[in-house]
A = this chain, B = another copy of it.
Amino acid sequence: MAKTTTSNHAAAARQRGVTMNDVAKHAGVSRTAVSFVLSNRENASISEETRARINEAVQVLGYRPNAGARALASQRSDWYGIVTEIVTAPFAVDIIKGAQDQAWLDRRFLLIAPSDQADAVGPNQGMEDAAIEKLLEQRVEGLLYAATYHRGVHVPESANEVPTVLINCFDADGRLPSIVPDERAGGRVAVERLLQAGHRRIGVINLDPDIPAAVGRLAGAREALADAGLELDPELVVPGHATADGGYEAACEILDRYTEKDRPTALFCLNDRMAMGAYDAIKERGLTIPGDIAVIGFDNQELIAAYLRPKLTTVALPFEKMGALGVQTLAALTAGQPIIADQQLVGCPLLERSSV
Contacts and interface: CB of A to CB of B under 8 A. Distances in A.
A121 interface: no
Contacts of A87: 93, 96-97, 100
Interface of A, secondary structure class, is helix
Contacts of A276: 307
Contacts of A139: 66-68
A20 interface: no
A273 interface: yes
A128 B248 CA distance: 44
Interface stretch (A25-33, A112-120, A222-230): A112-120
B68 A72 contact: yes
A134 interface: yes
Nearest to A90: B303
B71 A68 contact: yes
A232 interface: no
A154 B77 CA distance: 32
Contacts of A273: 307
Contact of A14 (B97, B161, B308): B161
Nearest to A86: B97
A73 to B, nearest CB: 10
Interface in A258-296: 273, 276-277, 280, 283
A89 to B, nearest CB: 9
Contacts of A93: 87-88, 93
A273 B96 CA distance: 25
A149 interface: no
A97 B114 contact: yes
A343 interface: no
B97 A137 contact: no
A137 B65 contact: yes
A307 B133 contact: no
Given A101-B118, A109-B134, A244-B307, A88 B94 contact: yes
Contact of A309 (B65, B114, B137, B248): B248
Interface in A302-340: 303-304, 307-309, 320
Given A77-B68, A94-B88, A303-B301, A138 B114 contact: no
Interface in A34-93: 64-69, 71-72, 77, 87-88, 90, 93
Nearest to A89: B93
B11 A67 contact: no
Interface of A: 11, 14-15, 64-69, 71-72, 77, 87-88, 90, 93-94, 96-97, 100-101, 104-105, 109-112, 114, 117-119, 133-134, 136-139, 160-161, 243-245, 248, 273, 276-277, 280, 283, 301, 303-304, 307-309, 320
22 contacts: A11-B160, A64-B136, A67-B137, A68-B68, A68-B72, A68-B139, A88-B96, A90-B90, A90-B303, A97-B114, A97-B118, A100-B114, A110-B112, A118-B320, A243-B307, A244-B309, A245-B309, A248-B309, A273-B307, A301-B303, A303-B303, A303-B304
Closest 5 CB pairs of A and B: A244-B307, A68-B68, A303-B303, A88-B97, A67-B137
Given A68-B69, A100-B112, 10 more contacts: A66-B72, A67-B137, A68-B138, A87-B96, A90-B90, A118-B320, A244-B308, A276-B307, A280-B309, A303-B304
